[in-house]
Amino acid sequence: MSTLILTAHGSRDPRSAANAHAVAERLRSMRPGLDVRLGFLELNAPNFADVLAGLPDGRRAVVSPLLLASAYHARLDIPKQIAGAGALDVRQADVLGEDVRLVSVLHERLAESGVSPDDDELGVVAVAIGSSHAAVNARTAQVPSMLAAGTRWAGATIAFATRPEPSVAQAIRQVRRRGARRVVMAPWFLAPGRITDRVSTYARENGIPMAAPLGDHPLVAETLLDRYEQALAEESAA
């Protein structure tokens, strides 16, 4: 038997932790019998290191990051904690990334907010967290073109809510230069939190609607299960 350790960042906003718990429950319902454990890297309990320490001796485990981008936590923090725990039977799965299923969830969230794919006067700004790692930002910047595929929108572009450029304001100006008469925000976030609230406040003050984050959608859980299976398959092939 193996264990899937769903590993979330952690937040002072209780909505973020609640979403992680909801995703864990969805994983359990989709894969009955799979031992799913949730651990947070900071700010929330149970702590990831404690979850690692609590694994039964000899139990294989896959750490499945509930993260969209392969930034600091996925590339450095999680591997360091796994190595520090001496967890020899633990593999780390890939992050969720720019998976087409997640892009389809974002389409769904936009549709829920009244967006039509045939609106040729609409500009869509996909808002994400920026990274100090340029390659990570370049991958995240693929989301708007994936999102706009098959639509008649005037334009779609990326904005980073933290760093680097383009900022939300710059991205809005960009899609308006492309001919958009109306703009909508599409948050490339898994859960609401302080950053999404800040973006939402900016949008509201400027009369711009904003869709909901991806949340605990079944396709988020399905993508996590795929990453888990891929990690197990790579272990078997090694």
pLDDT tens per residue across span 23-69: 999 999 999 999 999 999 999 999 999 999 999 888 899 999 999 99
pTM for the model stands at 0.95
Residue 42's identity, in one-letter code, is E
Contact between 171 and 138 under an 8 Å Cβ cutoff? The reply is no
Percent of the chain with pLDDT over 90: 88
Could you tell me if residue 210 is inside a domain? no
Residues 87 and 144 both lie in one domain:
no
Could you tell me if residue 31 is inside a domain? yes
Contact between 157 and 175 under an 8 Å Cβ cutoff? The reply is yes
Query: In the beta sheet, which residues pair with residue 134?
Result: none
- Read off the DSSP letter of residue 162: S
Q: What is the largest CA-CA distance in the chain?
A: 60
| Continuous segment of H or E residues that includes residue 60 | strand 60-65
Contacts of 219 (CB under 8 A, 6+ apart): 101, 102, 104, 105
Could you tell me if residue 79 is inside a domain? yes
Q: In which region does residue 109 sit, left (phi positive, over 0), alpha (psi from -120 to 50) or beta (all else)?
A: alpha
What is the count of structural domains for the chain? 2
pLDDT tens per residue across span 157-175: 999 998 778 999 999 999 9
pLDDT of 178 above 90: yes
Checking DSSP bridges between strand 35-40 and strand 2-8, what pairing results, if any?
A: parallel
Could you tell me if residue 68 is inside a domain? yes
| Torsion, CA 50, CA 128, CA 222, CA 155, rounded to 10 | 180
Q: In which region does residue 34 sit, left (phi positive, over 0), alpha (psi from -120 to 50) or beta (all else)?
A: beta
Residues 54 and 145 both lie in one domain:
no
pLDDT tens per residue across span 82-134: 998 876 789 999 999 999 999 999 999 999 999 999 999 999 999 999 998 89
Residues 88 and 121 both lie in one domain:
no
User: Which two structure tokens, joined as six digits, stand for 92?
Assistant: 């780390």
Residues 113 and 58 both lie in one domain:
no
CATH no. for residue 24? 3.40.50.1400
Residues 16 and 41 both lie in one domain:
yes
Could you tell me if residue 133 is inside a domain? yes
- pLDDT value, residue 238: 64
Structural domain span for residue 121: 98-204
Per the prediction, the chain carries an average pLDDT of 95
Residues 15 and 54 both lie in one domain:
yes
User: Which two structure tokens, joined as six digits, stand for 24?
Assistant: 């864990």
Which of 67, 129, 142 has its CA nearest to residue 103? 142
Contact between 68 and 23 under an 8 Å Cβ cutoff? The reply is no
Could you tell me if residue 209 is inside a domain? no
Could you tell me if residue 42 is inside a domain? yes
Residue 230's identity, in one-letter code, is Q
Contact between 62 and 92 under an 8 Å Cβ cutoff? The reply is yes
Could you tell me if residue 158 is inside a domain? yes
Residues 69 and 116 both lie in one domain:
no
